[in-house]
Amino acid sequence: MKTFIKVFIVSFLFFIVAYYLGGFSYIKDQGLSVKDNYDFGFYQAENIPDIILSKIKTEAKEDKTFTSLEEAKELSSRVNFLIVGMEDVRTDTIIFASFNKDTKNIDMISIPRDTYVHRKGHNRGEERKINSVYNDHGIEGVKRTVSYILGDIPIHHHIILDYKGVRNIIDLVGGVEVDIPRNMKYEDHTADPPVYIDLKKGRQVLDGKKALDFIRWRKDNRNKGYIDGDLGRVKAQQQIIKSLAAKVKDNLVNIIISGFKHVKTDVNLLDAIGYGRDAIGIDEDNMHFSTLPGEAESRIYNRKLFSYFIYNKSEVMKLVEEIYNVVNN
């Protein structure tokens, strides 16, 4: 399960949660009526997403332009999140997600877990990877590190994912439809728990377990995998996102109740309501993905060889300025 897509799925659901809370709050504020029967504090109606959208959906505005990143930091309406998936005391997955409240765009930068960072007093090879920061400095330390890498961009909130909920959420929406490009089989009886993947080629609806198998699969036991390497895996991940995004709004209430408990965040209810009002109208076309610019490199520390991802500072700044719509004259 070591892939950014699971984090994205639940982070996307976070925005759906905010969307629903904001819509519900707005309806109450305006004295609008949807239906009288309710449960768990939420009004129940088969078409409640459409009712909310018809009442409070707003049009996206044109993006503001800035002459410098410093100006953009001060004046931009963006709200930035750090989304992490944990593996014991290490951050297995790290994503910087920037939500533009004006344009309704969400720009995401995946930070490789092996990204090289050298912290004072942490000189061992394994301590020079970003995934080791959490163990020593907690989520705030990871936020500071990512902010530094991205040119001191502010990170306003964090979201920590519980992987256990992803499978349940996919089952909750009735599975996801994908087109599996090839037969996929893999076994690892030494893993805890053991791994057994057996998927057949073709279009089909996958339940939660099989969807995660589809995401996880890299290669078979003969070391044969996608022809285009990790790009093939990215395509598989994108299929899951699109299929899930198409189904979540029809299952909002149950997803909120079942899914949100698997997310730890510092976003309070009032903030969620505010973001929800701004998030109305978001769809998959508003979501943009990129990976931290850089390349893999091996280095030796204490006679041990370590693999790192060395980020390219100048290319990183170009990416951040593009996200913030900084126009250099």
Evaluate whether 81 touches 161 at the Cβ level (below 8 Å): no
Model confidence pLDDT, tens digit, residues 284-327: 678 788 888 988 889 999 999 998 989 999 999 999 999 999 99
Phi (first) and psi of residue 15, to 5 degrees: -65, -35
Give the pLDDT score at 145.
Answer: 97
For 166-244, CATH gives: 3.40.630.190
Delimiting residues of CATH 3.40.630.190 domain(s) in the chain: 166-244
DSSP state of 325: T
Give the pLDDT score at 198.
Answer: 95
Q: Mean pLDDT of successive 10-residue segments in the chain (329 residues)?
A: 42 49 44 42 46 56 91 94 80 85 87 89 92 93 97 93 71 90 92 87 94 82 75 67 69 61 75 71 76 89 91 96 90
The pTM assigned to this predicted structure is: 0.71
DSSP state of 79: E
Residue 306 has which token pair? 């370590």
Model confidence pLDDT, tens digit, residues 159-188: 887 666 667 778 888 899 999 999 999 998
Please state the three-class secondary structure of 205-227 as a single string. EECHHHHHHHHHCCECCCCCECC
Give the pLDDT score at 114.
Answer: 86
User: Domain 4-158+265-323, what fold?
Assistant: Nucleotidyltransferase; domain 5 (3.30.420)
Delimiting residues of CATH 3.30.420.590 domain(s) in the chain: 4-158+265-323
Give the pLDDT score at 158.
Answer: 92
Residues in a beta bridge with 179:
203
Give the pLDDT score at 1.
Answer: 39
Residue of 52, 55, 45 lying closest to 16 (CA atoms): 52
What is the Cα–Cα distance from 266 to 197, expressed in whole angstroms? Answer: 36
* Distant-in-sequence, close-in-space partners of 123: CB < 8 Å, separation ≥ 6: 301
